[in-house]
Amino acid sequence: MIGHGFMGAAHSQGWRVAPRFFDLPLEPEMAVVVGRSAAGVEASARKWGWTESATDWREVVARDDIDVVDIVTPGDTHAEIAIAALEAGKHVLCEKPLANTVAEAEAMNQAATSAAERGVRSMVGFTYRRVPAATFARDLVAAGRIGEVRQVRAEYLQDWLMDAEAPLTWRLKKEHAGSGALGDIGAHAVDLTEFITGQHLTSVSGIIETLVKERPLLGEGVGLSGTASAERGEVTVDDIALFTGRLDSGALASFEATRFRTGRKNALRIEIAGSTGAIAFDLERMNELEFYDATQPGLELGFRRILVTEHDHPYLAPWWPTGHMLGYEHGFSHQVRDFVTAIDEGSAPRPSFADGLHVQRVLDSVERSSAAGSVWTPIAG
């Protein structure tokens, strides 16, 4: 695993726990974690159960005893690491968004396509696909339970940047993050919409805005919650993205991605209205799904709550008894389960680098639409 911050902890949990609950066809060995600081990455290795730590990812990627490379670094490093790993014959799991630019994502997808011809697999970490309630929502839509998809509302709402004096971290710098709320969390809203509906966005019209344009610089070795310096720097990414999209079928979808929605901590919400029903999911109530069956008698109409904890629901058979809830970290175990199974079967895991490239093109189209005055902009490819 290359990188060991917040996503490093989540991915480590997934690698450690998945083999203990799922009957995996291959046994993952947590061989080495890589980071820039020798002391920091060594502490992470001890904490999360990696056998070794290292500071040079190129040396690790070249090792014969490494089969899989898991990339959890900032977006500006994804392309270089992923392409090198694929060319070295390593299976690659890469965090979302796939890259910082369409050009980088295209190069990564080309490398993945070439590697697949040699049996080397790759996947993007859109983990929310693997929340059981979200997967079950996809299954219900695919089974025709809401009829023809007519309208979608998707939003990812957070408030962790509300404090204008919060320091200027890498997530607020375009050269490292690629974009702000649009790519960081908006990418999830786009992918989950397409996953659940089984459709792709074909065009978008939107606007992005930076609400706080300068923030205090971080002092030496100071984290997000630490003391910032008196010197200030420019925020070069968006704080909020609002856009409308059209799906393959012609259905319209509205999207909001913001890290300034006061009171919302991690609210990824999606509601899909169809010709015979509707379905709604909220990550802050991640074990539940709301379902509306418009074919029922008028006196019985209304959204009903489905508790998605039955063993017949997606991914849930190995876990706890009915009604015992899963949490945020379980999606990463499901991700490991699916990735390892695909490697063993020689099948193409999803979401693929091609899926990640498509999302990157959507993000790029939103940015171009905003720059041009919110004009409708087609999705390339």
Which of 128, 161, 191 is the endpoint of a domain? 128
User: Pairing mode, if any, of strands 32-34 and 52-54?
Assistant: parallel
Q: Determine, yes or no, domain membership for 372.
A: no
Tell me, yes or no, whether 195 and 320 share the same domain: yes
Q: Are residues 156 and 54 in the same domain?
A: no
For the cut 60, the answer to whether the pLDDT of residue 221 exceeds it is no
Q: What is the CATH number of the domain that holds 289?
A: 3.30.360.10
**154, part of any domain:** yes
Q: Which residue from 371, 380, 174, 151 is spatially nearest to 255, judged by alpha carbons?
A: 151
What totals of helices (H) and strands (E) does the chain contain, helices first?
11, 16
Distance CA 219, CA 231 (A): 9
**How many domains are contained in the chain?**
2
Q: Is pLDDT above 70 for 141?
A: yes
Q: What is the per-residue pLDDT across 193-211, written as a single tens digit (0 to 9) for each? A: 999 999 999 999 999 999 9
pLDDT of residue 224: 43
Q: Which residues contact 238 (CB under 8 A, 6 or more apart)?
A: 179, 180, 181, 182, 208, 209, 210
Is there a contact between 369 and 376 (Cβ–Cβ < 8 Å)? yes
Measured distance CA(169)–CA(9) in Å, rounded: 19
**Phi, then psi, of 378 in degrees rounded to 5:** -70, 155
Q: Are residues 251 and 122 in the same domain?
A: no
Query: Using one digit for the tens of pLDDT, what is the confidence trace for 93-110?
Result: 999 999 999 999 999 999
> What share of the chain in percent tops pLDDT 70?
97
The CA-based dihedral angle spanning residues 246, 258, 239, 174, taken in that order and rounded to the nearest 10 degrees: -70
The per-residue pLDDT of the chain, averaged, comes to 96
Q: Compute the average pLDDT of residues 40-51.
A: 98
The confidence band for 223, taking pLDDT boundaries of 50, 70 and 90, is very low
Residues 178, 251 share a domain: yes
Sign of torsion, CA 112 113 117 119? positive
Domain shared by 193 and 312, yes or no: yes
pLDDT at 381: 80
Q: What pLDDT score was predicted for residue 230?
A: 78
Q: Give tens-digit pLDDT for 304-324.
A: 999 999 999 999 999 999 999
Question: Is 25 a member of any domain?
Answer: yes
Residue 60 has pLDDT above 70, yes or no: yes
pLDDT digits (tens, 9 = 90+) for 11-32: 999 999 999 999 999 999 999 9
Mean pLDDT value across residues 332-348 = 98
- On whether both 11 and 35 belong to a single domain, the answer is yes
Considering only CA atoms, which of 229, 110, 220 is closest in space to residue 165?
A: 229
Domain finish residue from 128, 155, 188: 128
Q: Report the Cα–Cα distance between both ends of the chain, in Å, rounded.
A: 31
Give the tens place of pLDDT for each residue, 253-301: 999 999 999 999 999 999 999 999 999 999 999 999 999 999 999 999 9
CB atoms within 10 A of CB 104: 21
Q: Domain check: are 135 and 260 in the same one?
A: yes
Question: Residue 336 falls within a domain, yes or no?
Answer: no
Q: Which domain covers residue 27, as residue numbers? A: 6-128
